[in-house]
Structure 1
Amino acid sequence: MKAITFIIALFSVHAALGQKLPASSFAELEKRQDSLRAMSYEIINGKTQDVRSTRNDAFIPALVKALKTPYSFYFPFDSLTTMAKVYPADSSFRIFTWPLEYDNSTFRHFGVIQMNTKDGALKLFPLFDNSDYTANPDTITNHHGWYGCLYYGIIQRRYFNAEYYTLFGWDANNLRSQKKIAEVLTFKEGEPVFGGPFFSFVEDTVKKPTRNRFILEYKRDAAAGLNFNPEANMIIYDHLISETGEEAKKHTLVSDMDYEGFKWQAGKWVHVEKIFHDALEKGKVPVGVPLDKSRSNLREPKTYDEIEAEEAAKQAEKDAKKKKKKQ
């Protein structure tokens, strides 16, 4: 089996929902979840591309059938640990996403948006990954032209009586690079719209065009963050530099431990060039730390931040033991 070097940040946010799942529906979904779990395991762990693709082809209609169960929105599908789930603060919908790995170590993503309906009936938007077929990723698309990824986070903002949902996604991409993605999801006449002119660089020293989607592509075995920081009330991400001085080659980019970000301002995410002041000295490039595959556990997935926190705790414990010995 090919080792999969990605980490899925799973969200099982269960906000207080007005309608409870009927016992009959819960029992039905419990049964269907068992079958879905077996198929989803093979989508990730199948030994060949043919096996993984076949299981995925069976999984999609089985998932849709399960979601047709009345009030299925309130069933968490917690045991489907290979499928990422995000809910906005208002619980008006949820998004499921999952990957399919090809034998050349590239990925295609699949997903659905399930709306929270008052009568418990299914309203679903299937997501069709078009990222491999578009030369320009800075587009505004519907669910048929989705820029496929695994969503690991979502935040909601309101502006002039409209709701804006900022999604954070991850794409393992290929053997050389990976991507973090931020995009705004809106609904127009009840239909999902991905992207829009929301990422502004108007306050930068050197002005750049507004982007419909913000993509951070970097070296495959490096670590870089892109997420909303509630304490700073901003999106914060790693500033990247090239190990080889070739900025155009995304697979050479790594973090220099400096940070940039976006602040929500008048219905847009406005770029902030520098947030903290702890960058490396000019010309010094950090060595990317390869992801330890032994820690990539799809049953208990962890984010890079969580892994780094664990490492820091282990180091602190070692330092404490050394200090105790000296005493």
Structure 2
Amino acid sequence: MKSQDLSEYEAELIHLLDALRSAKDNAEKNQANAQFKAKLEETIRLDGAFDYPFSGLKTMGSIKSPDNEFRLFNWNVEQDDMTQKYYCYVLTFDDRSKKYKIIELKDNSFMLPQKPTEILEADNWYGALYYKIIPMKKGSKTVYTVLGWDGNNASSTMKVLDVLNFSGGTVRLGSPVFKFPKETLKRVFFEFSKKTTMYMSYEEQYSRIIFDHLAPETPALTGMYSMYVPDLSHDAFILDDGKWYLVEDVIGVNAAMSETITVSYKDDKTGEIKERKIKNKWEEPSKSHVATTPEDQMKEQAGEQKEQPAAKNNHKPDRHQPQSYNPVNGTKKKKKR
């Protein structure tokens, strides 16, 4: 099918998705979502859908695996009580039939523990929005680590690390590859306060997943994960021979920058916009300028010696604070479908 034809389908999907996002209550959302879901499934069955960008669907995730083996179409519907329902289609090429096939991940979180620990089938999914896919070798097979987000409930949000693999013509989730000092997990959940955000990203050049270290706001709140926040330090999972090994208290670094950058400026004489290359180097302001208070100025005027600035506090967060990695399972408060 030509991309022009797919653009007509996309236009209808955009209209249906806008209707879903503007729905006022659960009844309207369920009806609008059913229409959008049916049309999306019809659309991605068409020839060319795997490579079509679907860039107009702004509130639906659509990502490919880096090796082009599959593509995810993934979205959420927030309920009246601020819990979430999740939907996901996996589009992949079937070598046997020589056609693309669709595998649906079905959100069954109402019947699952809040943080399930076992390997899950496609029709027994906990629900999440995936935003990164990392291929990795496990023996002779390729499996995929996925990074996801879950809005959870009115008081907390979750990030999740999981492993997606294809087996028996379907998708399974979970694999014992997340190595902690005293245990190995099939997936990892991080739960934290709704009032904050948690950074979690894959750094390909270092083969690591780096993320904020979470801790309770005060020691008295230990175990109350809706009160956990980033403590300004970072941890990471380092990939080694198909396993992710936890390393605590790592340093995050920015990508290498070029030595020069090009800046644009207006010539005051001619009014022309010109460009000039300058050194791309940040200089510590304290080396060339030190802020002063009115008291400092009075002392200088009186000939007194200016006081030296106080030393910076380089205290690192206590690494022994409890972590929120895969805490004890609880019942997820979602309304029964």
8 Å contact from structure 2 (residues 233, 317) kept in 1: no
- Considering Cα pairs closer than 8 Å and 6+ residues apart, tell me whether 1 or 2 has the greater RCO: 1
Matches within 5 A, 1:40-55: 40-55=17-32
Give the letter aligned to residue 230 of structure 1: E
Over 3 Å counting, the alpha-carbon distance change for 1:274 and 1:56 in structure 2 is: same
Q: Distance in 2 between matches of 1:43 and 1:140?
A: 32
Q: Deviation of residue 280 (structure 1)?
A: 4.4
User: 1:59 aligns to what?
Assistant: 36
Pick aligned residue for 1:139 from 94, 118, 131? 118
Q: Distance in 1 between matches of 2:233 and 2:7?
A: 46
Q: Deviation of residue 82 (structure 1)?
A: 0.9
Q: Deviation of residue 279 (structure 1)?
A: 6.8
Q: Is 1:127–2:110 an aligned residue pair? A: no
User: 1:191 aligns to what?
Assistant: 170
Pick aligned residue for 1:249 from 212, 224, 241? 224
TM-score normalized by the length of structure 1: 0.73
Over 3 Å counting, the alpha-carbon distance change for 1:200 and 1:247 in structure 2 is: same
More strand per residue: 2
Give the letter aligned to residue 241 of structure 1: A
Give the letter aligned to residue 50 of structure 1: A
Secondary structure of the 1:273 match is strand
More helix per residue: 1
| Structure showing greater Rg | 2
Q: Distance in 2 between matches of 1:190 and 1:78?
A: 29
User: 1:165 aligns to what?
Assistant: 144
8 Å contact from structure 1 (residues 36, 63) kept in 2: yes
Over 3 Å counting, the alpha-carbon distance change for 1:46 and 1:264 in structure 2 is: same
Matches within 5 A, 1:6-25: 22-23=1-2
8 Å contact from structure 1 (residues 154, 166) kept in 2: yes
User: 2:234 aligns to what?
Assistant: 259
Matches within 5 A, 1:284-295: none
Q: Is 1:220–2:198 an aligned residue pair? A: no
Question: Which sits farther off after the overlay, 227-236 or 148-157?
Answer: 227-236
Q: Is 1:237–2:214 an aligned residue pair? A: no
TM-score normalized by the length of structure 2: 0.71
Q: Distance in 2 between matches of 1:72 and 1:224?
A: 33
Q: Distance in 2 between matches of 1:36 and 1:60?
A: 9
Q: Deviation of residue 147 (structure 1)?
A: 2.0
8 Å contact from structure 1 (residues 71, 121) kept in 2: no
Pick aligned residue for 1:38 from 4, 11, 15? 15
Give the letter aligned to residue 31 of structure 2: T
Q: Deviation of residue 243 (structure 1)?
A: 0.9
The root-mean-square deviation of aligned C-alpha atoms, in Å, is 2.1
Residue segments in structure 1 that go unaligned for 5+ positions in a row: 1-21, 286-327
Q: Deviation of residue 223 (structure 1)?
A: 1.6
Residue segments in structure 2 that go unaligned for 5+ positions in a row: 253-313, 322-337
Q: Distance in 2 between matches of 1:229 and 1:103?
A: 36
8 Å contact from structure 1 (residues 73, 116) kept in 2: no
Secondary structure of the 1:262 match is strand
Q: Distance in 2 between matches of 1:105 and 1:129?
A: 16
Q: Distance in 2 between matches of 1:121 and 1:281?
A: 53
Q: Deviation of residue 89 (structure 1)?
A: 1.3
Matches within 5 A, 1:85-96: 85-96=62-73
Deviations 1:189-221 (A, max 9, x none): 3321111111111xx3xx2x2111111110001
Q: Deviation of residue 258 (structure 1)?
A: 0.9
**How many residue pairs end up in the alignment?**
256
8 Å contact from structure 2 (residues 232, 317) kept in 1: no
Q: Deviation of residue 28 (structure 1)?
A: 2.5
